[in-house]
Structure 1
Amino acid sequence: MKAAVLYGKEDVRIESVADPTPAAGEVVIRVKAATTCGTDLKVWRRGGHARMLTPPILFGHEAAGEIVALGAGVTGWRLGDRVVANNSAPCGQCFYCQRQEFSLCAHLEFNNGTFAEYLKIPASIVRHNLLPIPEHLSEEMAALTEPLACVLHGVARCGWQPQMQQWPSPPQIVVIGDGAIGLMFVGVLAQQGARVLTFGGSDQRLAIAETFGAEQVVNHHQCEDMPAVVKDWTTGRGADIVIEATGVPQVWEVAIACGRPGATINLFGGCPRETRISVDTERLHYEELTLKGVFHNTPAFVRQALALIASQTLPFEMLVSGHAPLTEIEQVLQAMKARQVIKVALHP
Structure 2
Amino acid sequence: MLAAVLYGKEDLRLEQIATPVPAPGEVVIRVGAATTCGTDLKVWRRGGHAKMLKPPTPFGHEAAGTIAAVGEGVTGWQVGDRVVANNSAPCMTCFFCQKQEYSLCTHLSFNNGTFAEYLKIPAPIVQHNLLHIPDHLSDALAAMTEPLACVLHGAARSNVKPSDRVALLGDGAIGLMFAGELVRQGAEVFLFGGSDRRLEIGEQFGVAKTFNYHRLADIPAQVKALTDGWGADVVIEATGLPAVWEMAIACARPGATVNLFGGCPRDTTITVSTEQLHYSELTLKGVFHSTPQYVRAALELLASGTLPFKLLISDHQPLKNLEQVFYDMRDRKVIKVAMQP
- TM-score class, shorter-chain normalisation, is over 0.9
2:207 is the alignment partner of 1:214:
yes
Consecutive unaligned residues of structure 2, counting only runs of 5 or more, are none
Q: 1:255 aligns with which of 242, 248, 260?
A: 248
Mapping for residues 30-49 of structure 1, pairs under 5 Å: 30-49=30-49
| 2:271 partner SS | coil
Q: Number of matched residues?
A: 341
Counterpart amino acid of residue 61 in structure 2: H
The C-alpha deviation readout for 1:120-151, integer Å capped at 9, x for no partner, is 00000000000000011000100000000000
Query: Counterpart of 1:243?
Result: 236
Counterpart amino acid of residue 31 in structure 1: V
For 1:280 and 1:102, how far apart are their aligned partners in 2?
Answer: 31
For 1:323 and 1:66, how far apart are their aligned partners in 2?
Answer: 18
The C-alpha deviation readout for 1:260-282, integer Å capped at 9, x for no partner, is 00011000000000001000110
Query: Counterpart of 2:261?
Result: 268
Query: Counterpart of 1:185?
Result: 178
For 1:326 and 1:103, how far apart are their aligned partners in 2?
Answer: 30
2:327 is the alignment partner of 1:334:
yes
The alignment's C-alpha RMSD in Å is: 0.4
Query: Counterpart of 1:306?
Result: 299
Superposed structure 1 runs of 4+ greater than 2 Å apart: none
Q: 1:204 aligns with which of 193, 197, 202?
A: 197
The C-alpha deviation readout for 1:77-128, integer Å capped at 9, x for no partner, is 1110000000000000000000000000000010000000000000000000
For 1:297 and 1:175, how far apart are their aligned partners in 2?
Answer: 20
For 2:136 and 2:156, how far apart are their aligned partners in 1?
Answer: 28
Query: Counterpart of 2:75?
Result: 75
Consecutive unaligned residues of structure 1, counting only runs of 5 or more, are none
| 1:45 partner SS | helix
Query: Counterpart of 1:28?
Result: 28
For 1:277 and 1:77, how far apart are their aligned partners in 2?
Answer: 47
Counterpart amino acid of residue 131 in structure 1: L
| 1:89 partner SS | coil
Query: Counterpart of 2:282?
Result: 289
For 1:317 and 1:202, how far apart are their aligned partners in 2?
Answer: 18
TM value normalised by structure 2 = 1.00
Deviation at 1:159, TM superposition (A): 1.2
Counterpart amino acid of residue 292 in structure 1: K
TM value normalised by structure 1 = 0.98
For 2:264 and 2:217, how far apart are their aligned partners in 1?
Answer: 23
